[in-house]
Amino acid sequence: MEQATFAAGCFWGVELAFQKLKGVSDTKVGYTHGQTENPTYEQVCTGQTGHTEAVLVEFDPAVISYNELLDVFWNKHDPTQVNRQGPDIGTQYRSGIYFHTEEQKQEAIQSRDALNQSGRLSQPIATEIKPSAVFYPAEDYHQRYLEKRGMTHCG
């Protein structure tokens, strides 16, 4: 099994998109790339911790490739927006790919560059691509939030 970490706005909908995929064995929502240890949701929402809401994906690369996960990521949100997704505004909603291996880094960069050059987007991609960092799982009530409520999307 391998891990991948993505941030694409509110983590509830992002988690649901990945947990449905064949080859994904587990997902966790949480916070990464901030300066506060063990942040709470309330702290992250202030924008003062530096964290982004993210999803940690555990997957079997023999069943689903990292590039397939990247395709889901790019199609799940608007990667041209800076520090927001739709009505959600703040640094905690920024777009990010946090690679776990050098291979993931190269695939993420190639994928981003191909999408930028495709003409599908009216603005350049703002997604940050950085090494994975400490991932703090969100509170239990956030895990599989939409699934537990029988919802298919946020809002």
| C-alpha to C-alpha distance for 24 and 92, rounded to whole angstroms | 24
**10 catalytically annotated:** yes
* Among 4, 10, 69, 70, the one annotated catalytic: 10
| Residues 100, 81, 45: CA angle, nearest 5 degrees | 75
| C-alpha to C-alpha distance for 79 and 76, rounded to whole angstroms | 9
DSSP 27-73: EEEEEES-SSSS--HHHHHTT-S--EEEEEEEE-TTTS-HHHHHHHH
99 residue type, one letter: F
* CA–centroid distance for 85 within its chain: 12
- CA distances, 147 to each of 12, 24, 99, 140 (Å): 9, 15, 26, 13
- Is the separation of the CB atoms in 100 and 2 below 8 Å? yes
**Known catalytic residues?**
10
